A and B are shown apart, each in its own frame.
Chain A
Amino acid sequence: MTRQVKTLFIANRGEIAVRIIRAARELGLKTIQAHSLADADSLAVRLADEAVNIGPPSAAKSYLNVEAVVAAAVASGADAVHPGYGFLAENARFAEAVEAAGLVFVGPTPQQIRMMGDKVSALEAAIRAGVPTVPGSKGRVETPEAAGVVVDRIGFPVMIKASAGGGGRGIRVATSRDEFDRLMPQASAEALAAFGDGGLYIEKFIASSRHVEVQVLGDGHDVVHFYERECSLQRRRQKVWEEAPAAMLPADVRAKLCQSAVDLAKAVQYRGAGTIEYLYDDTTRDFYFLEMNTRIQVEHPVTEMITGFDLVREMIRVSMGEKLRMKQSDITIRGHAIECRINAEDPTQNFMPAPGLIESLVVPGGAGVRFDSLLYQGYTVPPFYDSLLGKLIVWDEDRASAMTRMARALGELKIGGVKTTRGLHRALASDPDVQAARFDTQFLERWLEKHSEHCGE
């Protein structure tokens, strides 16, 4: 059943709000931009057909306020809501409230959001769909004997993790049985002291891995994939630099990886744009399910550049009940794309945030260059939200020429008035390891210890 949608309410801000307005306009939809008091001057507000104030600057009282956002959407006369990424995009209660108010939610069903948002149920869904997961105990181990059985099965090295842990606390790595027997009691005692729960679980330790992820799009029945992205260059688990396709992935592994993503999305009858994230071990060529993100992602443009499809437009179409407009065989990879996240942060000062007035702006251009941003000259970047100013994206025939083109485009980009991470990206683009795609998820933090002072303007 298709739903006639005429007006789209954008429940987000920043560059993704601008991106959504552009897609909606191309579909002939009227756009209504939600904004906090601090965002009344935003580019998205200026571009949208209408704008509605939903609350004070604090995100908790505006963009994260389910009741305020739904009430504003209903009052605006919109018939669909796009949640963007972050904020309420993966909040099942929000999706439910939007649907209960009779509006279309541009995303998956609340049940799908809930299933993939919970670590245990997401892992169970992946296992049911035959997607490889990191070998381990798949839950708590209650006794040293039970733990011994698990390590005999998966082999060393293993990671001992606190069930109640998080943020890296309570994690130990054992490389032998002796070490394992010594560390288990320590880990349990530490977990009990830190979290009030001595429960442990065991996973195979993968010393060096890359982050790869597969873009999928479903209409609630059929699912297609748009190949993978690699996002191994991360700082504090935040992606900094993304590429498509993953340069180091052999063709046969790519085929299996992408098929596993489709299998999982099909198994849950997925609707909308989604991303299945994996760890990839390029020494063994094994990949393991990490999680599924049930939204459009920041780095979606690199996929658009290599496949030629507009993912934001397509996710709006399927949310209105349309069938997928493409078959898997219509989707092919052409060339290579790279995205650099330009943040208002000073890479020479431990990435200190740097909001403020944009005094001048020169946007790079030319063949194969795209800049998705929230910037205009004279805009004051508010301090209340994340530091992403924009994404510089380039496409070229192959990875080497895309690297050259990125260096050229970064050279043209000039953002006057605030500190940015442009210098970090210029240094990365000329680094021999980055040029050779020799990196894992810990590469950037190690690299910054040596190079951060050379990452200024």
Chain B
Amino acid sequence: MATKDLLSPLPGTFYRKPSPDAPAYKNEGDTVKKGDIIGLIEVMKSFHEVHADADGTITAFHADNEDAVMAGQPLATLSI
């Protein structure tokens, strides 16, 4: 089965949930549709959604909630 890395579109802080008390958008093992939100990137005090760019199943997250990430850094791996 093919895999695909989901890359951070921006540098900033990665959030896996919409607010501190909310559950994660997606967890390892979840299936996603293209366009599903898998997290947020906070850059310079503005928040940007990170969308799945293909249908598939998340096999791994490579960044934790509140991790600093660079643009182009893999956030998650999808099996497609």
Q: Contacts A58-B13, A384-B12, A384-B13 given: A353-B68 contact, CB under 8 Å? A: no
- Please tell me if B10 contacts chain A, counting CB pairs below 8 Å: yes
- Please tell me if B11 contacts chain A, counting CB pairs below 8 Å: yes
B13/A387 in contact, CB under 8 A: no
- Please tell me if B44 contacts chain A, counting CB pairs below 8 Å: yes
B12/A383 in contact, CB under 8 A: yes
Q: Is the interface of A mostly helix, strand, loop or mixed?
A: loop
Chain B residues with CB under 8 Å of A387's CB are 44-45
User: Which residue of chain A is the closest to B70 with respect to CB atoms?
Assistant: A383
Which residues in chain B, 43-72, are within 8 Å of chain A measured between CB atoms? 43-46, 66, 68
Chain A residues with CB under 8 Å of B44's CB are 344-345, 353, 355, 383-387
A355/B68 in contact, CB under 8 A: no
Chain B residues with CB under 8 Å of A386's CB are 44-45
Render A325-365 as a binary contact track against B, CB cut-off 8 A, 1 for contact. 00000000000000000001100000001011000000000
User: Which residue of chain B is the closest to A386 with respect to CB atoms?
Assistant: B45
How many angstroms from the CA of A353 to the CA of B10 in the assembled complex? Answer: 9
A38/B68 in contact, CB under 8 A: yes
How many angstroms from the CA of A127 to the CA of B24 in the assembled complex? Answer: 47
- Please tell me if A132 contacts chain B, counting CB pairs below 8 Å: no
Chain B residues with CB under 8 Å of A345's CB are 44
B43/A355 in contact, CB under 8 A: yes
B66/A58 in contact, CB under 8 A: yes
Chain A residues with CB under 8 Å of B66's CB are 58
Render B9-47 as a binary contact track against A, CB cut-off 8 A, 1 for contact. 011110000000000000000000000000000011110
Interface residues on B, range: 10 to 19
Q: Most chain-B Cβ atoms within 10 A of its Cβ — which of A58, A383, A385, A387?
A: A383
How many angstroms from the CA of A344 to the CA of B10 in the assembled complex? Answer: 14
B11/A355 in contact, CB under 8 A: yes
- Please tell me if A57 contacts chain B, counting CB pairs below 8 Å: yes
* Whole-angstrom distance between the Cβ of A389 and the nearest chain B Cβ: 10
* Whole-angstrom distance between the Cβ of A417 and the nearest chain B Cβ: 13
* Whole-angstrom distance between the Cβ of B41 and the nearest chain A Cβ: 8
* Whole-angstrom distance between the Cβ of A214 and the nearest chain B Cβ: 28
* Whole-angstrom distance between the Cβ of B46 and the nearest chain A Cβ: 6
> Which of A38, A58, A383 is close to B43, meaning CB atoms less than 8 Å apart?
A383
How many angstroms from the CA of A356 to the CA of B46 in the assembled complex? Answer: 16
How many angstroms from the CA of A356 to the CA of B11 in the assembled complex? Answer: 9
* Whole-angstrom distance between the Cβ of A250 and the nearest chain B Cβ: 38
A385/B68 in contact, CB under 8 A: no
How many angstroms from the CA of A223 to the CA of B66 in the assembled complex? Answer: 45
How many angstroms from the CA of A57 to the CA of B68 in the assembled complex? Answer: 8
* Whole-angstrom distance between the Cβ of B51 and the nearest chain A Cβ: 16
* Whole-angstrom distance between the Cβ of B13 and the nearest chain A Cβ: 6
Q: Most chain-B Cβ atoms within 10 A of its Cβ — which of A345, A384, A386?
A: A384
How many angstroms from the CA of A10 to the CA of B43 in the assembled complex? Answer: 24
Which residues in chain A, 206-227, are within 8 Å of chain B measured between CB atoms? none
Chain A residues with CB under 8 Å of B10's CB are 353, 383
How many angstroms from the CA of A241 to the CA of B68 in the assembled complex? Answer: 32
Q: Most chain-A Cβ atoms within 10 A of its Cβ — which of B12, B44, B66, B68?
A: B44
Chain A residues with CB under 8 Å of B43's CB are 353, 355, 383
How many angstroms from the CA of A331 to the CA of B56 in the assembled complex? Answer: 68
Chain A residues with CB under 8 Å of B46's CB are 353
Chain B residues with CB under 8 Å of A385's CB are 44-45
Which residues in chain A, 181-238, are within 8 Å of chain B measured between CB atoms? none
How many angstroms from the CA of A57 to the CA of B43 in the assembled complex? Answer: 12
How many angstroms from the CA of A288 to the CA of B68 in the assembled complex? Answer: 43
* Whole-angstrom distance between the Cβ of A103 and the nearest chain B Cβ: 29
How many angstroms from the CA of A457 to the CA of B10 in the assembled complex? Answer: 21
Render A384-401 as a binary contact track against B, CB cut-off 8 A, 1 for contact. 111100000000000000
* Whole-angstrom distance between the Cβ of B29 and the nearest chain A Cβ: 28
How many angstroms from the CA of A386 to the CA of B13 in the assembled complex? Answer: 13
User: Which residue of chain B is the closest to A381 with respect to CB atoms?
Assistant: B44
* Whole-angstrom distance between the Cβ of B47 and the nearest chain A Cβ: 10
* Whole-angstrom distance between the Cβ of A354 and the nearest chain B Cβ: 8
How many angstroms from the CA of A173 to the CA of B10 in the assembled complex? Answer: 40
User: A-side interface residues toward B, CB under 8 Å?
Assistant: 38, 57-58, 344-345, 353, 355-356, 383-387
What are the nearest 10 A-B pairs in CB distance? Answer: A353-B44, A387-B44, A383-B12, A383-B11, A383-B43, A353-B43, A386-B45, A57-B68, A353-B46, A355-B11
Known: A355-B44, A383-B13, A383-B43. 5 other contacts (CB 8 A): A38-B68, A345-B44, A353-B44, A353-B46, A384-B68
